Amino acid sequence: MSASSVLLFPEMVLKVSEDGFEADNEVKMMRFLEGKLIVPEVYAYEKEGGKAYLLMSRLKGETIPQSRMQEIGKEALLLLESAGKELIPSRIELRTRLSWAWENIEKGEADMENCEPETYGKNGFRDPMALWDWLSENAPAEDDLTLTHGDLCLNNLILTKEGIGFFDLGKCALTDRNQDIAILLRDIRHQTGIFDEEKFVREAGFAYDKKKIRWYHLLDELF
């Protein structure tokens, strides 16, 4: 949705982004998750001239090695689950995500090139508007609610000395679990190759809903 720039310092990070929901939500969720998960600590948050300035602690550690991507991915899902869903201060419904997707289409930001090869074209959708129409008509029930990261890619995780750290939390909220599962499966597949996705999900202790996962995959094509 909104582009951000990040300035790294030895012990801190300054994130500058557009003033809006994601910027506010990131701060809200980092404060809520303090002591529950490993997330950056908020030092200061200010707004001026349509920009949001977030000064936070810098999580130190290593990126996820390819050999451990499945292991760490499962653990990340379980950690989010373990945080509980009581009193989560943010809830992002499907209709909200669909409205964001429509805004991206209107602004010409739904890129048809940077997508899975089967999404558009001969055996896919005509264009982003056709995809959005299908998503709207086939929206699944939100019946598996939990704390989700909202953009659970491996590059939004870090291996610290204390465990898995989470950052880039602008879309973190109470949402259907398959939002995170779909993004995570695709990211692991892109980085390691084809693997048994159903086995992965079931070994993590969750139900495998192929239709829902596909729906969330396709929704993310509009971002």
Q: Measured between alpha carbons, how far is 52 from 23 in angstroms, rounded to an integer? A: 7
**96 CB contacts (<8 Å, ≥6 apart)?**
none
Structure letter (DSSP) for residue 20: S
Place of tokens 């989700």: 148
How many degrees, rounded to 5, is the angle at CA 94 between CA 91 and CA 98?
125
Q: Give the whole-angstrom CA distance, residue 105 versus residue 94.
A: 17
Residue of 19, 151, 209, 220 marked catalytic? 151
Residue 57: beta bridge partners? 12
Say what the alpha-carbon torsion angle 207, 190, 173, 210 is, to the nearest 10 degrees.
-30
User: Is 151 considered catalytic here?
Assistant: yes
Q: Among positive and negative, which fits the CA dihedral 89, 94, 99, 105?
A: positive
Q: What is the DSSP letter of 125?
A: B
Q: How far apart are CA 94 and CA 153, in angstroms?
A: 20
Active site residues: 151
